Structure 1
């Protein structure tokens, strides 16, 4: 545990971009439960079912209403809110696009966030092959707008989503943040590595404390429909075949969403200490540190669903990697924490939500 570790500060204002997304929703829900003032920002694009994103926002609205109040606005007319008491969380949602510099600047000007959590991005490895320009706008232009806004408002900590995809063709396992990551196999991975480089330059030039989080195959309730566990569940329940790439010979470090949020909660109020160059910059892996074979994952999902899948075996797809495996030694050393939810428990929790949500 870091000697300078600080307990969570509920008096800060937290800006979460991608608040209607999977991880953003769960983080906002946790921050609200702690009594924090949370500003959510999202463009609600149609990369996947917008109604699921709205359902997440409705959940946050319900939580905030039960605690104190909720205000919602658009990026063009953001209303100012009275300060809430530290004992009751408040949530303000602003709809806007990260690539819109004016919208981002207005957001920071009106709400002066203390901690910024940038989770908004165009996700998906395979989608980046067909729609590359969407990644440049959201993941590069959008992230630059966040960095510039942080620069001019002097936030206390910028935390941003990277990805295990940055490890690309690396063969050494487990993947360590000290490994070189110069061989991305998708544009998505390249944009995430670019985010880390951009953040480093702004930390060095302008003293913005920044922490990048390389997430490893996150899953759980209210998850992303484009992820394998989600799409598999839909197809299995509908009696449709699931596509299994590389003939099932793949390994993933599946990480349950509650573990991701706990890791972030530890990190948010503990910016990096200066490194050997005096820069307050850090990268962490957040993964379960226990890769599972794809076929075992499918078998576990079948057991949870109570139905066997029809299977179509296919070769490896462009942009895919053979395995992911997180070295979380830094996370343990700094925060005495590592993700630990077993796949069986995590998938059971997801399936319970899935069956309830889709009736």
Structure 2
């Protein structure tokens, strides 16, 4: 049994990771600041699910003093907490505070209190690649959004410590993750909600043609959990984690319409600055290093997300 800390634990992907690690018999702790980027009630719902499984969550910001969090020594730290998205309502200062300063403060706390951690697993994003994320990990990053730029900076803060021999670290770049608990402003949760309530869906010009490696959250957490025990093999590595199945946004919309047996009302909007045109995950390294093999089709994953939404929010 390993003792593991997961940051952003009340959020979408991290809450699933906590559950996965707990199911494998590990002792899991979480930390989350429960900020109001989206409805805090959703995070409280996730936190309640985790608490019922015996997962302890520290309610504090990563920019605060973390001495109490590290009163426990951890074998692994999975860093998923971040300022997400490309919303024009989010300032550069918020991205810098939550993606750079918070990461640095966490790393400093680990070096001070928990320097023997087996691995610090930084969770990055395909957004660091830029307009098109269709390349392997050897290609240079070319981010175009505040989100992508600051996530790349956080990744390099962690890898810099690895290069100087101070910390075992790897960084995992995720691709278009969806599934139960997905944030309310993200594509599929918003599609499901707007279809259910017959509300117009804001569709940015050109976005129906965007191509994405839509990856089911269950496959993502399987890949992350596979790092445990392979820390020597992945130390210093950047690893893409997604699916090599590519679908257009239009295909995603159609899949939800078919499952819910309803037609979406479209509210056309101007193009959104910073949107990626195409993502296609190159996951050869993840397959080789982690034995990673995504198995969930888009139809299967959306069905699970629709079932979750109807159970949690319509009864």
Tell me the TM-score normalised to structure 1 length. 0.83
Does residue 112 (structure 1) correspond to residue 112 (structure 2)? The answer is no
Aligned-partner Cα distance in 1 for 2:91–2:82: 13
Say whether residues 1:198 and 2:157 are aligned partners.
yes
Q: 1:307 aligns with which of 247, 259, 262?
A: 262
**Aligned partners of 2:131 and 2:278 also within 8 Å:** no
1:132 matches 2:87 = no
Equivalent of 1:39 in 25, 29, 33? 29
In the alignment, what sits opposite 2:6? 16
Superposition map of 1:36-185 within 5 A: 36-64=26-54, 91-100=55-64, 102=65, 104-108=66-70, 110-127=71-88, 130-152=90-112, 153-154=114-115, 155-170=117-132, 174-181=134-141, 183-185=142-144
Cα displacement (A) at 1:130: 3.5
Instruction: Determine which of 15, 23, 26 is the counterpart of 1:25.
Output: 15
| Greater C-alpha radius of gyration | 1
- Alignment match, 1:71: none
Point out 4+ residue stretches in structure 1 off by more than 3 angstroms. none
In structure 1, stretches of 5+ residues that fail to align are: 1-10, 65-90, 275-279
2:226 match: secondary structure: helix
Does the aligned pair in 1 maintain the 2:8–2:79 contact within 8 Å?
A: yes
| Cα separation, 2, equivalents of 1:281 and 1:267 | 13
Q: 1:335 to 1:310 in 2, by over 3 A?
A: same
Unpaired stretches in structure 2, ≥5 consecutive residues: none
Mapped to 1, the partners of 2:45 and 2:305 lie a distance apart of: 16
Superposed displacement of residue 272, structure 1? 4.0
Determine the structure 2 residue equivalent to 1:236. Answer: 195
Cα distance per residue 1:165-210 (max 9 Å; x no partner)? 011034xx632111111x2110100011112211121112243111
In the TM superposition, residue 222 of structure 1 has moved relative to its aligned partner by 1.5
C-alpha RMSD of matched pairs (Å) = 1.5
- Greater shift, 129-138 or 47-56, is seen at 129-138
Aligned residues: 311
Q: In the alignment, is the contact (CA less than 8 A) between 2:122 and 2:171 conserved in 1?
A: yes
1:26–1:261 CA contact under 8 A, matched in 2 = yes
CA distance in 2, matches of 1:62, 1:130: 33
Deviation of the 1:321 alpha carbon? 1.2
Alpha-carbon shift at residue 335 of structure 1 (Å): 2.3
Residues in 1 aligned to 2:128 and 2:40: alpha-carbon distance in whole angstroms:
28
Question: Which residue in 2 is equivalent to 1:292?
Answer: 247
- Quote how far apart the aligned CAs of 1:139 are: 0.7
**1:94-145 deviation line (CA, Å, top 9, x unaligned):** 1000111x1x23311x111110011111111125x64221111111110001
Deviation at 1:308, TM superposition (A): 0.8
Contact 2:212–2:248 at 8 Å: present in 1 too?
yes
Contact 1:162 1:212 in 2 (8 A): yes
> Which residue is equivalent to 2:148?
189
CA distance in 2 between partners of 1:272 and 1:218 (Å): 27
The whole-number CA distance in structure 1 between the counterparts of 2:105 and 2:165 is 15
- Match in the other structure for 1:4: none
In structure 2, C-alpha distance between the alignment counterparts of 1:316 and 1:175, rounded to whole Å: 24
